[in-house]
Amino acid sequence: MKEHPRTAPQKGFNFDYLMWLFTRLSALGMYLIAIVGVTAALLMSARQNMSVADLMRWAFMPNPNHVVNTNIPNVDTWKGIFWNVMGILMLLFAGGHGLHGLLNVLEDYISRTWVRNLLRGLVLVVWVVMSAIGIYVILTS
Amino acid sequence: MEVTIKVFRYNPEKDKKPSYKTYKLEAIETDRVLDLLEKVKGYQDGTLSFRRSCAHGICGSDAMRINGFNRLACKTLVRDTGATIIVQPLLGLRVIKDLIVDMEPFFEHYRSVKPWLINDEPEPEKERTQSAAQRAIFDDTTKCILCACCTTSCPSFWANEQYVGPAAIVAAHRFIFDSRDKAAAERLKILNEVWGVYRCHTVFNCTMACPREIQITKAIGEVKMALTTGKLE
């Protein structure tokens, strides 16, 4: 029926679009990391040696410090580069997701462009500093 | 049955601040809130001001806040409100007098998304044809009557009047997904700005408030998907 193809819409690659997309993808990413964490933990004898609370803590931040106080006999398999990367990804996703959520709600109330840009810069600094501290903790655990 | 109707009153020429005035009147269950307001204005207090036109849920003039929900007074029955009714003007827009609000910011946003068919191609010999399936994509959003119930129930609009609001996005959706229209990219660009679709936090107030039962949040989601995927059909 169409004689001419319709004009392709302009894909948004501005900050609002990218952060909207990041918020959705980071949520899925966090679910994925948590599922990998739980699955791996169960394979590493968590069912016999960990409470559900400890398991959840591990799932949402796979750090060996969250295992040492459980009945897991050997923590060696619970640490390493893979779990460091998973922990760092979870930290970056969670920080970015949460801080952008806060920013998004605050921006509802901000009319002036310079105030919005200032706030965005501030949130970026907070995210970078928090992430740097978190990454340091993860890598030195 | 006796009904008590408490109405928001404000006359900027006389009143320093708004107040509420209570009226009591006889009504039956199938009376509409609009009927009650007409009775109050006709028999008790001629100074009461409110908008109304068709009184049959088509023109969208008598949108107001009834017992805390945005409704059309002509479609809200006493049976559904109960014997005590609180009537207020729509939130988020300046009150001109009593239940009448300044709709200009609302219509400004509506106009900003170019709610008309844009097609510069040569006109065909007959009409521009469209299949039933192509029409079905935007059928829901053609039902909008511009009553502003959705936009004035949206917390993002309450927070900032610069947000285009659900009604404008619905209007844009109606043309973005119309296969005869050629300006989808133009409208999507407008909605891709900071005051466009990203101010929608999927609260669903708009969908709850719409007297035409348009799935507004879904329509906004479809516009977001069109921005992401580029697919219009």
pLDDT of residue A13: 66
> Domain boundaries in chain A?
15-139
> Domain boundaries in chain B?
2-101, 104-229
The alpha carbon of residue A116 is apart from the nearest alpha carbon of chain B, in Å, by: 10
CB-CB under 8 Å, B193 with A108: no
Q: Tell me which of B6 and B227 has the higher pLDDT.
A: B6
Residue of B nearest to A110 (CA): B160
CB-CB under 8 Å, B193 with A6: no
Task: Please name the residues in contact with B72: beta carbons below 8 A apart, sequence gap of 6 or more.
Answer: B34, B57, B60, B62, B63, B147, B149, B211
The alpha carbon of residue B158 is apart from the nearest alpha carbon of chain A, in Å, by: 9
| Per-residue pLDDT at B227 exceeds 60 | yes
Average pLDDT over residues B99-127: 94
Residue of B nearest to A113 (CA): B194
Please, is A48 exposed, middle or buried when counting C-beta atoms within 10 Å of its C-beta (0-12, 13-18, 19+)?
exposed
| Per-residue pLDDT at B103 exceeds 70 | yes
Phi, psi of B131 (to 5 degrees): -80, 165
| Per-residue pLDDT at B205 exceeds 60 | yes
| Least confident interval from A68-77, B9-18, B94-103, B170-179 | A68-77
Q: What is the ipTM of this complex?
A: 0.79
Q: What is the mean pLDDT of chain B?
A: 95
Q: Write down the CATH superfamily of domain B104-229.
A: Alpha-helical ferredoxin (1.10.1060.10)
Helix (H) or strand (E) holding B84: strand B84-88
CB-CB under 8 Å, B227 with A9: yes
| Segment 187-226 of chain B within 8 Å of chain A by CB | 188-189, 192-194, 196, 198-199, 201, 224, 226
| Per-residue pLDDT at A8 exceeds 90 | no
Average pLDDT over residues A79-92: 94
Strand pairing report for B63-66 and B84-88: antiparallel
Torsion angle (degrees, nearest 10) of CA B167, B168, B173, B175: 120
CB-CB under 8 Å, A107 with B194: yes
| Per-residue pLDDT at B14 exceeds 80 | yes
Cα gap B91→B98, rounded to integer Å:
12
Extract the tokens encoding B118: 């844009």
Average pLDDT over residues A62-78: 86
Question: If one looks up domain B2-101 in CATH, what number appears?
Answer: 3.10.20.30
Cα gap B95→A58, rounded to integer Å:
54
Classify the phi-psi angles of B67: left when phi > 0, otherwise alpha if psi is within -120 to 50, otherwise beta: left
End-to-end CA distance of chain B: 52
What is the residue-wise DSSP string for A12-65? P-SHHHHHHHHHHHHHHHHHHHHHHHHHHHHHTTHHHH--HHHHHHHHHS--GG
pLDDT of residue A11: 62
pLDDT tens-digit series, residues B175-194: 999 999 989 999 999 999 98
Q: How far is CA B167 from CA A5, B21, B154, B203, B231, in A?
A: 28, 31, 10, 15, 22
| Per-residue pLDDT at B167 exceeds 70 | yes
| Per-residue pLDDT at A2 exceeds 50 | no
Q: Could you tell me if B62 and B74 are in contact, meaning their C-beta atoms sit under 8 angstroms apart?
A: yes
Q: Could you tell me if A138 and A88 are in contact, meaning their C-beta atoms sit under 8 angstroms apart?
A: yes
Average pLDDT over residues B139-164: 96
CB atoms within 10 A of CB B142: 14
Classify the phi-psi angles of A110: left when phi > 0, otherwise alpha if psi is within -120 to 50, otherwise beta: beta
CATH of A15-139, one of 1.25.10, 3.90.550, 1.20.1300, 3.30.70: 1.20.1300
Please, is A92 exposed, middle or buried when counting C-beta atoms within 10 Å of its C-beta (0-12, 13-18, 19+)?
middle
Extract the tokens encoding A141: 């655990």
Nearest to B138 by CA among B113, B105, B169, B92: B169
Cα gap A112→B106, rounded to integer Å:
20
From chain B, the residues in CB contact with A111 under 8 A are 160, 162
Please, is B165 exposed, middle or buried when counting C-beta atoms within 10 Å of its C-beta (0-12, 13-18, 19+)?
buried
